[in-house]
């Protein structure tokens, strides 16, 4: 039937309508978002339901019946967050040493104002206002925070599971458990972002050191470090050949006297060592620097694997995602 479910949906709807059909049952495995049909009722089912429907139609001794019930609203907390099939995925082709995306926000079937009415709309244009609103609220609550600090607060407090402990799912072909290339650090959690505990702040001058990566007019020096050395609230190493050492700096924005412990979830095949493993803050010490060593355990050309580094103090959970790819040789057909 082809790879474009939306196109196949339109073809199916036209054929059913021309044949005088009363409705359409459409099976797909990417997303539940379809173009509204004003003249034809329809329902979307997954492939498992499709087999059950076909089995019923073939086994019943009567004429198969379909009952269409009126739509009803269901509380949003009844659903596990999902990354839409149309959502852009990582890794970044331009800057693979910077993890993208950063975060996920609501952007599917959002009730939006359109002229003198309202419509349900989906896309980045719907997710961005959610993010902008959260950023504005954080800036009001913390007027001295830099853009990097606000971003860090949002990223390090995001959720990768729902309130029942179920992992976020990424829609697509096939549907799977989401990873940092689907949602960055996870689903935005505004309440937790208000009090992140620690932030990965960046001085604007720090960006100048890496300007050659995105400004074609500037050539990178031979001693230029990769962009994963920038103090971002994430780590992406696209070409780990043996071992790499990275430094990160965190600023305490919580209680003056705090003690944080490092919890590491290493990507498969990668050994991660954090030094020091304990960070102590007080009235005098508000900024701490730590070192992270990444070492390959297997000399195998591989795909990206994922992990995380989390600092906890019993109240706050400051988590950053990690994406690493082991590269033994720079093969032309295997560098992306």
Sequence spans of domains, the chain = 5-59, 80-334
Which pair of tokens denotes residue 130?
């959610």
Nearest to 307 by CA among 280, 269, 333, 335: 269
* Per-residue confidence (pLDDT) for residue 164, from 0 to 100: 86
* Per-residue confidence (pLDDT) for residue 272, from 0 to 100: 98
* Per-residue confidence (pLDDT) for residue 50, from 0 to 100: 85
284 CB contacts (<8 Å, ≥6 apart)? none
Q: Which fold would CATH assign to domain 80-334?
A: Immunoglobulin-like (2.60.40)
* Per-residue confidence (pLDDT) for residue 336, from 0 to 100: 47
Distance separating alpha carbons of residues 237 and 45, to the nearest angstrom: 39
**Degrees (nearest 5) of the Cα angle 99, 101, 104?**
135
Which pair of tokens denotes residue 248?
């990160």
Which pair of tokens denotes residue 117?
């009415």
Per-residue pLDDT tens for 26-49?
A: 887 666 566 677 778 888 887 788
Report phi then psi at 282, rounded to 5.
-150, -165
* Per-residue confidence (pLDDT) for residue 4, from 0 to 100: 65
pTM tops 0.75, yes or no = yes
Determine the 3-state secondary structure of 97 from DSSP.
coil
Distance separating alpha carbons of residues 47 and 108, to the nearest angstrom: 21
Per-residue pLDDT tens for 175-199?
A: 899 999 999 999 999 999 999 999 9
Which pair of tokens denotes residue 274?
């954090």
- The CB density around residue 102, as the number of other CB atoms within 10 Å, is 21
* Per-residue confidence (pLDDT) for residue 46, from 0 to 100: 77
Residues of the chain with pLDDT under 50: 1-2, 332-333, 335-336
Cα-atom radius of gyration of the chain, to the nearest Å? 24
Which pair of tokens denotes residue 234?
């994430």
């Amino acid at each position: 039937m082809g790879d474009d479910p939306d196109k196949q949906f339109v073809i199916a709807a036209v054929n059913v309508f021309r044949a005088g059909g009363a409705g359409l049952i459409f099976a797909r495995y990417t997303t539940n978002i379809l173009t509204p049909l004003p003249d034809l009722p329809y329902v979307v089912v997954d492939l498992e339901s499709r087999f059950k429907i076909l089995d019923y139609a073939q086994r019943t001794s009567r004429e198969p019946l379909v009952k269409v019930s009126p739509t009803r609203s269901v509380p949003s907390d009844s659903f596990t967050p999902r990354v839409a099939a149309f959502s852009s995925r990582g890794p970044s082709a331009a800057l693979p040493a910077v993890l993208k995306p950063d975060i996920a926000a609501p952007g599917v079937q959002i009730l939006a104002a359109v002229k003198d009415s309202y419509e349900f709309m989906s896309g980045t244009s719907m997710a961005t206002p959610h993010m902008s609103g959260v950023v504005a609220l954080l800036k009001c609550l913390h007027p001295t925070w830099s853009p990097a600090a606000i971003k860090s607060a949002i990223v390090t407090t995001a959720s990768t599971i729902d309130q029942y402990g179920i992992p976020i799912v990424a829609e697509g072909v096939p549907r799977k458990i989401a990873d940092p290339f689907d949602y960055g650090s996870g689903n935005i959690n505004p309440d937790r972002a208000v009090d992140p505990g620690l932030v990965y702040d960046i001085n604007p001058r720090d960006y100048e050191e890496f300007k050659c990566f995105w400004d074609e007019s500037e050539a990178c020096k031979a001693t230029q470090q990769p962009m994963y050395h920038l103090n971002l609230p994430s780590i992406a190493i696209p070409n780990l050949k043996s071992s790499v050492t990275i430094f990160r700096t965190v600023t305490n924005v919580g209680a003056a006297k705090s003690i944080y412990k490092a919890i590491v979830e290493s990507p498969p095949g990668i050994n991660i060592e954090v030094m020091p493993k304990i960070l102590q803050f007080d009235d005098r010490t508000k900024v701490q620097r730590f070192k992270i060593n990444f070492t390959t355990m297997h000399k195998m050309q591989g795909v990206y694997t994922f992990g995380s580094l989390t600092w906890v103090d019993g109240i706050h959970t400051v988590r950053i995602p990690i994406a690493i790819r082991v590269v033994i040789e720079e093969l032309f057909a295997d560098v992306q």
